[in-house]
């Protein structure tokens, strides 16, 4: 059995991983009795953590209190952490966007209203110099992240890449950041299948949908799944090419939104990509300055030949 102090930290960590826990579930996870769980919850409350009893079956929920729980942070420090996480969630620091959203969701769950207002005021008065990617409100990201964690359905209006708008209902699974944009992977209730949604194209509706039982994800590697979905599936033409370079070299010369790379051996790999015109694919791959062979579609190989003849003719005239 864990010592009391270690057990309290473990209990607090469990309460932060999802919305509701029954006393029996916590007792099983911690290897203690439900009576000990009740005593430990009382200790957390004495320390300032707002652990609420849930209605119905006896259970517990970590909520927001009138004061920030003792995280060794004063009000100014808590605001600074929240603002920093919101900024990082927007992609300011590469590689920590998804971690920042998860941490922000935990922090805002217990952040007092007066501090939440300060964070929102500071964020609204700050004008970032963004790049080409469409910005996403960190508040939207935390709502989606919390729904993923708590297995709550989402309802939203969605604008597809061709401009068509529709009303969607989905069981959210995970948020994925491509380096430029945020995507939601979820089970579309209307389509009865897994879908990938660009977060900047959706408008959330309130309240959330009902709770659901999580489904098995469409792929163990959600990053690769999302890359395939956004790099080829939405486009008119999909291409498969053999690249005469190691997979890591090809991957290093393109963003994950442009295509996916599958290694063949130490010197070659397969590139899967898509575009709305064949010329886009030809020019983009040629600019990588790597030898390649077209495997499909057949009309792409024909288009490579046409453009090659045109370039040779231009060279001979020069």
Handedness of CA 203, 206, 209, 215 (dihedral sign): positive
Rounded CA-CA distance 144/174 in Å is 9
Query: Buried b / exposed e across 14-45, counting CB within 10 Å, b at 16+?
Result: bbbeebbbbbebbbeebebeeebbbebbebbe
pLDDT value of residue 129: 46
CB 271 within 8 A of CB 243: yes
pLDDT in tens, 282-306: 998 998 999 999 999 999 999 999 9
- For the chain, give the mean pLDDT: 83
Taking phi over 0 as left and psi of -120 to 50 as alpha, with beta for the rest, 72 belongs to left
120 versus 277: the higher-pLDDT residue is 277
Asked whether residue 93 carries a pLDDT value surpassing 50, the answer given is no
Whole-prediction pTM: 0.56
Rounded CA-CA distance 7/118 in Å is 34
Cis peptide before 237 (omega within 30 of 0): no
pLDDT in tens, 161-180: 778 899 999 999 998 877 66
Burial class (CB in 10 A: 0-12, 13-18, 19+), 260: buried
């Amino acid at each position: 059995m864990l010592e009391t102090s270690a057990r309290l930290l473990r209990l607090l960590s469990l309460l932060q991983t999802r919305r509701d826990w029954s006393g029996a579930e916590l007792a099983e996870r911690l290897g203690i009795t439900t009576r000990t769980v009740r005593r430990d919850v009382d200790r957390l409350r004495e320390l300032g953590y707002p652990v609420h009893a849930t209605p119905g079956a006896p259970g517990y929920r970590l909520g927001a209190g009138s004061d920030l729980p003792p995280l060794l942070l004063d009000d100014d420090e808590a605001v600074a952490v929240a603002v920093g996480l919101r900024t990082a969630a927007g992609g300011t620091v590469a590689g920590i966007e998804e971690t920042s959203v998860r941490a922000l969701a935990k922090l805002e769950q217990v952040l007092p209203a007066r501090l939440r207002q300060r964070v929102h005021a500071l964020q609204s008065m700050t004008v970032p110099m963004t790049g080409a990617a469409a910005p996403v409100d960190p508040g939207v990201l935390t709502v989606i992240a919390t729904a993923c964690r708590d297995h709550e359905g989402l309802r939203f209006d969605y604008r597809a890449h061709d401009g068509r708008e529709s009303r969607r209902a989905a069981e959210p699974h995970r948020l994925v950041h491509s380096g430029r944009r945020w995507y939601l992977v979820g089970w579309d209730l209307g389509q009865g299948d897994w879908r990938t949604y660009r977060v900047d194209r959706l408008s959330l509706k309130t309240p959330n949908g009902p709770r659901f039982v999580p489904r098995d994800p469409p792929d163990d590697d959600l990053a690769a799944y999302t890359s395939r979905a956004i790099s080829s599936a939405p486009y008119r033409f999909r291409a498969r090419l053999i690249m005469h370079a190691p997979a890591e070299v090809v991957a290093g010369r393109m963003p994950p939104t442009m295509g996916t790379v599958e290694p063949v051996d130490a010197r070659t790999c397969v590139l899967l990509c898509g575009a709305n015109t064949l010329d886009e694919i030809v020019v983009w791959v040629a600019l990588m300055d790597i030898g390649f062979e077209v495997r499909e579609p057949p009309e792409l190989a024909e288009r490579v030949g046409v453009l090659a003849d045109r370039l040779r003719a231009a060279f001979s005239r020069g």
